[in-house]
Amino acid sequence: MHHRATTRRTVLAAATATAAAATTGFALPRSTTDPLPSTAQDPAPQDTGAQERALARIVARMSLEEKVGQLFVMRVYGHSATHPDQADIDANLREIGVRTAAELVAKYHVGGIIYFAWARNTRDPHQIADLSNGIQRAALAQPTPVPVLISTDQEHGIVARVGEPATLMPGAMALGACGARDVARRAAHIAGAELAALGIRQNYAPVADVNVNPANPVIGVRSFGADPQAVARLVAAQVKGYQGAKVAATAKHFPGHGDTTDDSHTKLPYIHHTREQWETLDAPPFRSAIAAGIDSIMTAHIVVPSLDPSEDPATLSRPILTGILRERLGYDGVVVTDSLGMEGVRTKYGDDRVPVLALKAGCDQLLNPPDLDLAWNAVLDAVRGGELSEARLDESILRILRLKAKLGLLRDPYTTHDEVDRVVGKQAHLDAADRIADATTTLLLNEGGLLPLNRLTHRELLVVGADPASPSGTTGPPTTTLAAALGELGFTATALSTGTAPTAARIEQAVAAASGKDAVVVGTYNVSATSAQRTLVARLVATGVPVITVAIRNPYDIARLTGQRATLVTYAWTDVEMRAAARVIAGRARPEGRLPVPVQRADDPSRELYPIGYGLSY
């Protein structure tokens, strides 16, 4: 068994335990030999009442300012808690009024910090672990030492904040195409184990939205699919996987963001489901998550008039969060807002009112406000002015502390480089990701049995198509990655990026490059009725060279394309999906995925071109 204890760690843990015992009267026992992450939850305390009393003592020792701080989860720039680069210091001063993560904790006593790649928090695994440890040291230096709950959005697929060499898994809709609960659970357990080793103990996944609207601009392939019961099963499986790895899972976005044509980052979407439709379409995955013991649920910045006629966004709606989520569904875990910097929650009320209204509605954690000082002081003033009671704050803080205790953070919030090296990106995890990707790749069209390609008759390949901005950690554009993977499998493959909106000149270049090739592989991305990608595919088809399209995001692309001989769907364009597509094209893996959403006809959306469950194999 790998032993976790190191001299540095032992000193830190001892200091933590001593400080906690002296200051709060509460310290959970710590094991120095249990491997991290473990597949088992911390054992239930012998006396739940004793733990509750101990947690209450922590709350009683907090100042009002510390209580307010515990409710906030905030971004911060930089790779280090104490010595970030100057550009990150400048960004922190400009946006938050502090220089470093340590100063953020000291000034605002924040209970959580969220990592982003764009905030330069996630350079490499050792750096992430050091950042996490630095944040925890700052938290435990506070008058009331309480570890920070560090979080991120590691949905996998098209949303990932931690990149290679961490293991990157297929995303939700790809897992929906596989449909197997044990696979979804395994993917989440691996992902959770690696996050825990990095000191990240709350993941804003899985997405529990049911994507019944193909035009949904913000959810789409982040959802497991369009069948509420299938989504519910996979959500529950991922909850078990993440939380079995000692990471808090977060079902999002309550009460359901799957049927909208607006993006809540930029607008306030309306969901016009009736109450009965909500019960049938949107509620099942959240019910399933709650039954599976979900640690946290994230709110949606959406209006659902049938659930709250006031037309407040759900994040600020007491009828939705307290009336439905708490009272009707019986959920008493942590409720975290979606980012308070998103336009959907800012359209109706000012940034000073939003955090107060979110707490009044039933939220516990206030995520990433655009102006922390304004939001923090607004909550402080609301308590001092009597709009919010201190008892109301205590309810939320106790939920947050229960979660921190469950995750073992009150026992030991630190990680080590040894843990990182033992867990993150290990070969067994990478192999599992490849096997899972093979099981999710979906074949929709294969005229004349073109696939798998025969290297004797289709050796010379051209790979063209869209190269959207890559999620964190991918090694290159999807055309380049796919061509390289085909090359490793014995083909001669040339890559040519034509973009998501290919120009006439780029299309001519692709047509010329197809000359003399045995087949052309085209990566398509969100093909619309007016997309120039349609022209690209048509022109390549007209050359007489067999064309294979690979929908690298939405499976709906095939409805807008004609003439291709074969079509694959990968549901994302990260390296693991591109390598799987190459194996399927080459016949090294069989396409096993089945559509988790229906594909409607482009000329008649009321009719299905391919139903849920459709998929070919060979």
Q: Are 269 and 263 in contact (CB under 8 A)?
A: yes
Q: For residues 322 and 340, what is the distance between their CA atoms, to the nearest angstrom? A: 19
**126 an active-site residue?**
no
Q: How many other C-beta atoms lie within 10 A of the C-beta of residue 475?
A: 13
Indicate the angle between helix axes 48-61 and 7-24, nearest 10 degrees.
80
The secondary structure of 485-500 as a DSSP string is HHHHTT-EEEEEE--S
The secondary structure of 295-351 as a DSSP string is SEEEE---B-TTT-TT---GGG-HIIIIIIIIIIS---SEEEPSPTTSHHHHSSS-T
Q: For residues 202 and 228, what is the distance between their CA atoms, to the nearest angstrom? A: 25
Please provide the distance, in angstroms rounded to a whole number, between the alpha carbons at the two ends of the chain. Answer: 43
From residue 183, alpha-carbon distances to 101, 169, 207, 354, 553 in Å are: 37, 11, 16, 39, 21
Q: For residues 100 and 85, what is the distance between their CA atoms, to the nearest angstrom? A: 10
Close Cβ partners of 431 (under 8 Å, ≥ 6 residues apart)? none
Instruction: List the one residue out of 439, 372, 468, 359 whose CA is nearest residue 175.
Output: 439
Q: How far is CA 438 from the centre of its chain?
A: 21
Q: For residues 315 and 338, what is the distance between their CA atoms, to the nearest angstrom? A: 8
Catalytic-role residue among 338, 364, 438, 518: 338
The secondary structure of 445-469 as a DSSP string is EEGGG-PSPPTTTS-EEEEEE--PP
For residue 216, the one-letter residue type is N
Indicate the angle between helix axes 125-139 and 101-108, nearest 10 degrees.
30
| Token reading at 244 | 């079995």
| Token reading at 346 | 């800012």
Instruction: List the one residue out of 118, 196, 125, 199 whose CA is nearest residue 471.
Output: 118
Residue 468: φ, ψ to 5°: -65, 165
Q: Look up residue 519 and give its DSSP letter.
A: E
Q: Are 392 and 363 in contact (CB under 8 A)?
A: no
**265 an active-site residue?**
yes
Q: Please name the residue ranges forming H helices in 372-491.
A: 372-384, 390-406, 417-423, 427-440, 478-488
| Token reading at 498 | 């034509």
Rounded CA Rg of the chain: 25
Close Cβ partners of 346 (under 8 Å, ≥ 6 residues apart)? 340, 354, 370
Q: For residues 388 and 386, what is the distance between their CA atoms, to the nearest angstrom? A: 5
| Token reading at 594 | 């089945």
Q: Look up residue 210 and give its DSSP letter.
A: -
Please give the sequence-ordered ranges of beta strands (E in DSSP) within 238-291, or none if there are none.
Answer: 250-254
Catalytic-role residue among 42, 265, 352, 417: 265
Q: For residues 600 and 446, what is the distance between their CA atoms, to the nearest angstrom? A: 19
Please report where in the chains the tokens 């938050």 appear, as a residue: 96
Beta-bridge mates of residue 460: 492
The residues that are catalytic are 265, 338
